[in-house]
Structure 1
Amino acid sequence: MKNEKKNIVLVEDNLALGESIHDVLVFSGFNLKWLKNGYEAFVYLSDNVPDVIISDLMMPVMGGDELFLKIRKNNKFNAVPFIIITANMDDETKFKQLENGVNDYIMKPFKTRELLLKIKNILNLKAQIEKKNSPDPFSKVTIKLSEKDFVVSINTILAKNIKHKIDIDHLSSQLYISKSTLDKKIRKRTNKNISQYIREFKLDYALKLIYLGERNMQFLVDETGFNSLSYFSTSFKKYVGVTLRDYIKSTHK
């Protein structure tokens, strides 16, 4: 699982929630295809078989339950784990989904760690069942830099290293440009110095984690690669305008 990115299909019609889940999973090392309803997903899945499907239960056009029943008619999806996410699921609905063969479900609001751990566990189980005898080769992806995708390239590097300390030396070496050129380019495009850009990129990710239900402040520090809780809290207040503790309280009332 660590040697290659796993492909996940997310089916979620709530744009804010979908964007947050998208960023969390991408930053956690997954390839993600986000579709807005079951019908879009059904069309996409006709030509694509992901490693995991995560779908909201109630959606316009086609819900997650109907999508599951449709794709399971095709044998190629027999080994693809299917996780349902929903805000309301009574016992009758829950038992019905499990009886139909849904592998797991997550109740909204949920914590980021719950989603990531369920994906990890279900992928590990799938790998054991498939009994893969030959390990996948390690691959090194070189980010090609151009003027057009300069900021995208930086964001890609930051996302891949979100839990670690990243500085201008690391970025410049990854982008194959000098530190002075990197600083000039980022200032020109964002009106920020590179340190500020990195810090705010990490803080934006923390905000998405909080939106998804995360309240553990030390977990936020660890997931965003800050040196300490005190530095994270100070940076957060300066960036957002309120203390970390107050922001978490206001978000999860």
Structure 2
Amino acid sequence: MKKQKLKIILVEDDVALGASILELLVLSDFDVYWLKNGIEALKHLQKNIPDVIISDLMMPGMGGEELFLKIRKNNKFKTVPLIMITANTDDDIKFKQLENGVNDFIMKPFNVKELIFKIKNIVELKKNIEKKYAPDPFSKVTIKLSEKDFLTSVNEILVNYLKRKVDLYELSRQLFISKSTLDKRIRKLTNKNISQYIREFKLEYAVTLIHLGEKNIQYLVDETGFNSFSYFSTSFKSYLNVTPTDYIKSIEIEKNDKNLMIR
């Protein structure tokens, strides 16, 4: 079976640079569609969902930042990585885009090999996250007598409720116990009520995503099924004594320190 090419949307107003990037990405076996500004890209994206979006930051009409913020409001594009291209070396500009949730940066002038590696790495990361947490449709929860197996069974069911509110009656039904018994057993095993246990289970999932490279806080909110950005942030800080933004920054610093040690 022929391998399907990765679909890339390139948004770049510089004709010479855009043509060069397009040619080199096509030669690297990517399926690339080139648009000249954010307005054109937004129209194209209404009917097309790529694997990766590569966008210049500064463009007439609609720049990369505005384009990114607009498409991230649409659930269809919550998991589509965006790599921003810029000639601006101002750290504040870069930090602002990263705080918005942009997945990666590439600075002009750049080596196309660097861009290709970043594309492949970011797509591989996305696939690994999806594979790691996709529920196995062929698995069945088996309730056993041991305490460890009970919590394992609870967790296996909760994975299916990550993006939405947990129905406690349905959870109890799948565990073959009453709602009150479920709460009592959770309290006995964890010293937490069922609501706290579920909330912290979802927060631990968010932490795992951060360690796998996810930086977009709104994406974390959506993936963990919290009612709002503010509720997620408050719960996160209460659980880890640090805001999501500061936690992500600390992980980035830790990774950079490790890379320096390796070098």
Equivalent residues in 2 for 1:15-54 (5 A)? 15-54=15-54
RMSD: 1.4
1:64 corresponds to which residue? 64
1:126 corresponds to which residue? 126
- Distance between the aligned counterparts of 2:130 and 2:89, measured in 1? 31
Where does the alignment leave 5 or more consecutive residues of structure 1 unmatched? 134-253
Paired residue type of 2:35:
L
1:74 corresponds to which residue? 74
- Distance between the aligned counterparts of 1:116 and 1:58, measured in 2? 21
1:113 maps onto 2:113 in alignment? yes
For residue 27 of structure 1, report the CA deviation from its aligned partner: 0.6
For residue 131 of structure 1, report the CA deviation from its aligned partner: 1.3
2:85 corresponds to which residue? 85
- Distance between the aligned counterparts of 1:4 and 1:91, measured in 2? 37
Paired residue type of 1:16:
A
2:150 corresponds to which residue? none
Equivalent residues in 2 for 1:1-253 (5 A)? 3-131=3-131
For residue 114 of structure 1, report the CA deviation from its aligned partner: 0.5
Deviations 1:122-160 (A, max 9, x none): 011111112198xxxxxxxxxxxxxxxxxxxxxxxxxxx
For residue 89 of structure 1, report the CA deviation from its aligned partner: 3.3
Structure number, greater radius of gyration: 2
Where does the alignment leave 5 or more consecutive residues of structure 2 unmatched? 135-263
Displaced runs of 4+ in structure 1, greater than 2 A? none
- Percent identity reads 67
Secondary structure of 1:32's counterpart equals: strand
Secondary structure of 2:98's counterpart equals: helix
Normalised by the size of structure 2, how large is the TM-score? 0.49
For residue 4 of structure 1, report the CA deviation from its aligned partner: 1.5
Normalised by the size of structure 1, how large is the TM-score? 0.51
- Distance between the aligned counterparts of 1:113 and 1:50, measured in 2? 20
Aligned length: 132
For residue 3 of structure 1, report the CA deviation from its aligned partner: 2.4
For residue 102 of structure 1, report the CA deviation from its aligned partner: 0.1
For residue 25 of structure 1, report the CA deviation from its aligned partner: 0.5
Paired residue type of 2:91:
D
Deviations 1:67-97 (A, max 9, x none): 0000000011011000000111311111100
Secondary structure of 1:131's counterpart equals: helix
